[in-house]
Amino acid sequence: MNASSLIKLLSNETNLEILSVLRSGSFNPRELARILGRDETDLSRRLRAMERAGLVEGRWVRIREKNVKVYSLKVDGIEIRFEPGEVLISTSKGDRYEVPLLESRLPPIDVFVGREKEIGLISSSDKSVIVIYGIAGIGKTTLAAKLFSDAFWYQMSEGDSLDYFAWQVGLFLNTLGYNALLEYLRAGSREERDIFELVLEGIEKSSAKIVIDDLHKCRDERILHLLAFLSERLGKGKLVITSREKPNLGIENVLYLHLAGLSPEDAYSLIKAKGIDVSSKEFAEIYHITLGHPLALTLFSEAYGANKEFTRESFFDFILSEVYGKLNEDERSLLQLMSLFDEPLEYEEIRALHGKNVFSTLYSLLNKGLIERRGDYYFLHDLIRGFLSEVREVDEVKVYSKYVEFLLGRNNARDFLKAFRYAVKLKDGETIKRLVELRLRKFKRVIQDFPDAYLNILSIIKDNPYAKEELGNIYFQKGFFEKALKLWLEVKDELGGIHKADVLSSLVDVYIELNRLDESEKYLEELEKMKESMNDEEVELWYFVELTKLNFYLGKPEEALKSALNELKVVRKLGRYPEFESLVLLHVGDIYVELERYRESLTYYSQALELARAYSLSFMEHLTLFELSKAYYLLGDYKKAVEHAVRGGDYFLRVRNYRRAVDALAYRCFSYIALGELERAQNDAREMIRIAQSTGYPLGWAGYIALAAIENLRGGNFKEYLNIGREKLKEYPRLYGAVLKELGRVFEVSKILPQEG
Ligand code: ADP
């Protein structure tokens, strides 16, 4: 193996991220692309390269007629160790390299002067949260980077939302060996409280350090709530925040540091380091005007020429126009272009937008202090951006349109969201319509993975009919059915084509949720007509999905089965959605359960499981394990039921999906009763009750009924348990009935029930 190509592969941050994710298991490139927010094709290429280098191992899994590639780490043969936070490479000669993960996102520092007092204060502080605040350009970021070069760097921008933020932190914590947060998010759960607790737990357990730069840009209140939550509780971990305004994060555990200008001595060293020699009289004047503001001093060094007169009021603009005047054409146009963006741009993006050879221009601007860098990202300091917005001549529309197309070419959910944000800035109805269609066809997961980020963007254009369509989809996903319904009814006659079909199928769905099946039927008929006229497989699929669901709710399982098998046919023809395919397989299994044809349901559940595993869909995998456990229970194979429920139940507890965890626990508990393992049954019953107490999920109260059965079998006093269980389930007569029915399969319930009449 060629060591230098190995090192080259390893010195690429994306590759390292891939490897660190693979550390937690085998992955299909598609799911890996989702986790990392990358294009699947690009990821596959990287994986193949790393496979050639012997770092990873791909193997083909055969699923029906198709081959699916699954990658895992292959570290045994070569001496590479993925340690928390770094990768260690040791060669046979005993050389040792350490590659810290995510380091390059730090702002690079070449010159650093002064700040001894502040450094002393921060280093000697035992507070877990450090807030550095002060005006723009005063040196907050530089100070944080100097002190916390081993921290995870999060650059806040205006479009950020809690779900996006949490995903990035989850990814980072995963590199430190804490995967619960990422796993939780991948499972599709988005409870604010859970996210808060998991972030806290992850930071504490791994003693992580996180810098949040430019907090004042944050528009999502929930991120601020999260930080306040962390501030009160952090002990081992560290949070460093820079902001222009002083955030309120409590007082107990927070060191607030207001940053002022550099001292005269340090200011002098700074301009000296920039290669400028001034007389002491001249320096006194400059210091008097700048008050040691480091960005002003840096720019001054660029603008410097003999005999310039400065006044304090217009100092900044004056200096900037001096510096600007000295730039060449190419530098100016690049600077203008970049001033259109209020978030960092990647080198590749800048190159795509600027067109020309951008490398040397970018570096010359960087050296002049006009541009800042974080790893592979570049941006203008806010003060400079403000100045440039006044002298700007570039065509905003042209640049943004080009950017939108560039981002879409990258073909991943996160860049899709970014593209959407710029399409909104363009206020271009046609582009928005096109993007929504793309979301419906290609980026289906955006609604689950980044609902809030998407919601924030859409809210800006909330009167646009396509935005209403999508807002409805997000509200529906979040369980706000009435709100979704209202929006869809408003726009249903305004839209055509795939958009109309989407709204119609959504209407069928929401009316089912609201138990207004007549309305559902009406819209399903309309959808059927569209399906026939459109000849679009996507729409055909939606139609069958809704038909299945409606038939199921109407109590027509035979009809539902027919249409579910049609779903399966279409989804396989479309061929792109393993996740959806496994869901359909699961539904087919459920319908067979309803028909009491348990053997057939096992067949379909097993196929769903196979598919979910091949594509690393962990949520689906465990959902299927649970369904399998139920089917085995119904078949009377309690050993197998327990086995499957254990794996499903543990996962759901881990990702805090308590509703599903209780479902699994209930079947496991009843299976233990059937097997006569009363001790274990009792533990599960207690766990169910505990969950009911903390979440209010009613099935958990069935734990009391189970305890009554267990006590009865032991010959003890069961009455009190039964009474509590009945009392708690009083408001849920159907659930109570279902519990007795299921328990009745393994225990003679008449032994504990009070005699009627
Ligand atoms: P802020 O984060 O407060 O907006 P920055 O940290 O980005 O400010 O600093 C603005 C500019 O001043 C940067 O170009 C940086 O290089 C320079 N600078 C800030 N502090 C120092 C310092 N202590 N020594 C040298 N240069 C500094």
Tell me, in angstroms, the distance from the centre of ligand 1 to residue 372's CA: 10
Express each pLDDT in 353-388 by its tens digit.
Answer: 988 778 888 888 887 878 888 777 888 877 788 778
Q: Are the C-beta atoms of 552 and 594 separated by less than 8 Å? A: yes
Express each pLDDT in 524-545 by its tens digit.
Answer: 999 999 999 998 999 999 999 9
Q: What pLDDT score does 252 carry?
A: 85
Q: What pLDDT score does 343 carry?
A: 83
pLDDT confidence band for 5 (50 / 70 / 90): low
- Averaged pLDDT for residues 8-23: 84
54: phi then psi, degrees, rounded to nearest 5: 80, 15
Q: What pLDDT score does 85 carry?
A: 59
Tell me, in angstroms, the distance from the centre of ligand 1 to residue 148's CA: 15
First to last CA, the chain: 83
Which structural domains are found in the chain, ordered by start? 3-101 (1.10.10.10), 116-258 (3.40.50.300), 264-325 (no CATH), 329-394 (1.10.10.10), 496-576 (no CATH)
Q: What pLDDT score does 434 carry?
A: 96
Q: What pLDDT score does 332 carry?
A: 87
Lowest mean pLDDT among 18-27, 104-113, 446-455: 104-113
Tell me, in angstroms, the distance from the centre of ligand 1 to residue 351's CA: 26
- Averaged pLDDT for residues 579-596: 92
Tell me, in angstroms, the distance from the centre of ligand 1 to residue 142's CA: 5
pLDDT confidence band for 100 (50 / 70 / 90): low
> Looking at ligand 1, which residue's alpha carbon is closest to its atom 6?
139
pLDDT at 579 over 60: yes
pLDDT at 311 over 50: yes
> Looking at ligand 1, which residue's alpha carbon is closest to its atom 11?
295
> Looking at ligand 1, which residue's alpha carbon is closest to its atom 5?
139
pLDDT at 730 over 80: yes
pLDDT confidence band for 705 (50 / 70 / 90): very high
pLDDT confidence band for 76 (50 / 70 / 90): very low
Q: What pLDDT score does 554 carry?
A: 92
> Looking at ligand 1, which residue's alpha carbon is closest to its atom 19?
139
Give the whole-number percent of the chain exceeding pLDDT 70. Answer: 93
- Averaged pLDDT for residues 164-188: 88
Express each pLDDT in 612-640 by its tens digit.
Answer: 998 888 889 999 999 999 999 999 999 99
Express each pLDDT in 389-416 by its tens digit.
Answer: 777 778 889 999 999 999 999 888 889 9
- Report which of residues 500 and 190 the model is more confident about: 500
- Averaged pLDDT for residues 37-60: 87
pLDDT at 508 over 80: yes
Instruction: In whole angstroms, give the CA distance from residue 409 to residue 415.
Output: 9
**SS3 assignment for 266-301:** HHHHHHHHCCCCCCHHHHHHHHHHHCCCHHHHHHHH
Q: What pLDDT score does 497 carry?
A: 94
Q: Are the C-beta atoms of 375 and 348 separated by less than 8 Å? A: no
Q: Are strands 238-243 and 129-133 parallel, antiparallel or unpaired?
A: parallel
Lowest mean pLDDT among 408-412, 416-420, 684-688: 408-412
346: phi then psi, degrees, rounded to nearest 5: -75, 155
Tell me, in angstroms, the distance from the centre of ligand 1 to residue 509's CA: 54
Mean of the per-residue pLDDT values for the chain? 87
Q: What pLDDT score does 144 carry?
A: 94
pTM above 0.75, yes or no: no
Q: CB within 6 Å of ligand 1 — which residues?
A: 111-115, 134, 136-142, 242, 270, 294-295, 298, 369
Mutate to test the pocket of ligand 1, among 213, 257, 295 (most ligand atoms within 8 A of CB): 295
Q: What pLDDT score does 757 carry?
A: 46
Hey, what are 472's tokens?
A: 């409805």
Express each pLDDT in 435-475 by its tens digit.
Answer: 999 999 999 888 888 888 899 999 999 999 999 999 999 99
Instruction: In whole angstroms, give the CA distance from residue 370 to residue 337.
Output: 13
Q: What pLDDT score does 678 carry?
A: 95
| CA 76 to centroid of chain Cα atoms | 31
Q: What pLDDT score does 359 carry?
A: 83
pLDDT confidence band for 1 (50 / 70 / 90): very low
> Which atom of ligand 1 lies nearest, measured to the CA of 145?
6
Lowest mean pLDDT among 9-23, 120-134, 415-429: 9-23
Express each pLDDT in 226-249 by its tens digit.
Answer: 999 999 999 999 999 999 988 988
Using a 10 angstrom Cβ sphere, with 0-12 exposed, 13-18 middle and 19 or more buried, the burial of residue 599 is: exposed
